[in-house]
């Protein structure tokens, strides 16, 4: 099995995509860093407000990835992209609902392991993933960044979802499905860094779904 495009073409088009949407790409990354920092150092009084921001940010990111990255950029390269776009948009709609719902989602790490993994995944999505690609020799202008490109956004998403007291299980379906896509791409494009994407997402999903319910630390 092969993908219908090469890694070189993907990163060249990522360069065009980043240049075209530069203000959005940079704003999305900065906002992600801000929300991550607030989530990891959240305050009791602001918790509800932060959780709405978190869900709202993830919703906007998913909708953006679905429409701009998958439909607008990738659909001309890959016949599967419209299906992926539909999944990302579906996730965006669900997250929008959670961000607006009166009950919404509640912040609160369920364990120190969840906090550690969440921190690690957020750092990986925002900083380490692009650094690895830079070290591999990709131009900084073509780096896929959290908030606007699917792989780092999926990792950021599971990292942030781990910061929820009771993360809705349905929200893990897309990251898990995306882990399968990333794994297949890693194999077919011989791009080892994408295996880390798979490991990151799967470990977060396993922890979120199967961790024993201890006393949740909530704010």
Partner 1 sequence: MQTQRLIFNRRRLLFSALGASLTPLFSTDPAAKPGTLIRRKIPATGEEIPALGMGTWITFNVGGSERLRRRRLAVLRRFLELGGGMIDSSPMYGSSQEVIGWCLKRLENKQGLFSATKVWTPYGTSAESQIREAAALWAVDRFDLMQIHNLVDWEAHLQTLRQAKAEGRIRYIGITTSHGGRHSEMERIMAAQSLDFVQFTYNILDREAEARLLPLARERGLGVIINRPFQGGGLFPLVRDKPLPGWVKEFDCSNWAQFFLKFIISHPSVTCAIPATSRVAHMEENMGALRGRLPEPKIRRRMVRFIEDL
In the complex, the residues that contact partner 1 under the rule CB under 8 A are 2-6, 9, 12-13, 16, 73, 76-79
Q: Are 132 and 186 in contact (CB under 8 A)?
A: no
Minimum CB–partner distance for residue 188 and partner 1 (Å)? 11
How far is it, in rounded angstroms, from Cα 129 to Cα 155? 10
Residue 84 vs 109, nearer CB to partner 1: 84
Q: Which residues of 67-103 are buried (b: 16+ CB within 10 A; e: fewer)?
A: ebbbbebbbeebeebeebbebbbbbbebbbebbeeee
Q: How far, in Å, CA of 195 to CA of 186, rounded?
A: 6
Please report the DSSP string for 110-166 in residue order. Answer: SSHHHHHHHHHHHHIIIIIHHHHHHHTT--GGG---TTTSHHHHHHHHHHHHTTBSS
Measured from the CB of residue 76, what is the shortest distance to partner 1 in angstroms?
Answer: 4
Least distance to partner 1, CB of residue 13, Å: 5
Minimum separation from the CB atom of position 78 to partner 1 (A): 6
> CB 73 → partner 1: shortest distance, Å?
7
Give me the residues paired with residue 164 across strands.
Answer: 107
Closest to partner 1 by CB, 2 or 102: 2
Q: Using the minimum distance from each CB to partner 1, give the nearer residue, 78 or 119.
A: 78
Which residue lies nearer to partner 1 by CB, 71 or 162? 71
- Round to whole Å and give the CA distance between 96 and 94: 5
Nearer to partner 1, 2 or 44 (CB): 2
Least distance to partner 1 from the beta carbon of 139, Å? 13
Q: Which helix (H) or strand (E) holds 200?
A: helix 193-210
Q: What crossing angle do the helices spanning 22-40 and 47-64 adopt, rounded to 10°? A: 150
User: CA 127, 4, 140 angle in degrees (round to 5)?
Assistant: 25
**Cβ closest to partner 1, residue 6 vs residue 116:** 6
């Amino acid at each position: 099995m092969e993908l219908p495009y090469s890694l070189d073409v993907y990163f060249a088009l990522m360069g065009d995509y980043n240049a075209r949407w530069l203000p959005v790409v940079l704003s999305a990354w900065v906002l992600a860093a801000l929300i991550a920092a607030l989530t990891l150092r959240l305050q009791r009084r602001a918790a509800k407000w932060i959780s709405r921001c978190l869900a709202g940010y993830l919703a906007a990111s998913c909708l953006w990835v679905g429409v701009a990255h998958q439909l607008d950029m990738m659909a001309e390269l890959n016949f599967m992209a419209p299906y992926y776009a539909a999944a990302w948009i579906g996730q965006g709609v669900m997250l929008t609902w959670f961000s607006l719902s009166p009950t919404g989602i509640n912040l609160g790490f369920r364990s120190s392991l969840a906090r550690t993994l969440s921190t690690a995944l957020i750092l990986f999505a925002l900083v380490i993933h692009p650094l690895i690609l830079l070290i591999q020799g990709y131009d900084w202008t073509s780096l896929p960044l959290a908030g606007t490109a699917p792989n780092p956004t999926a990792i950021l998403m599971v990292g942030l979802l781990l910061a929820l007291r009771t993360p809705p299980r349905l929200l893990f379906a897309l990251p898990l499905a995306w882990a399968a896509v990333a794994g297949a791409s890693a194999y077919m494009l011989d791009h080892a860094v994408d295996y880390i994407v798979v490991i990151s997402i799967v470990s977060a999903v396993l922890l979120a779904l199967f961790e024993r319910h201890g006393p949740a630390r909530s704010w």
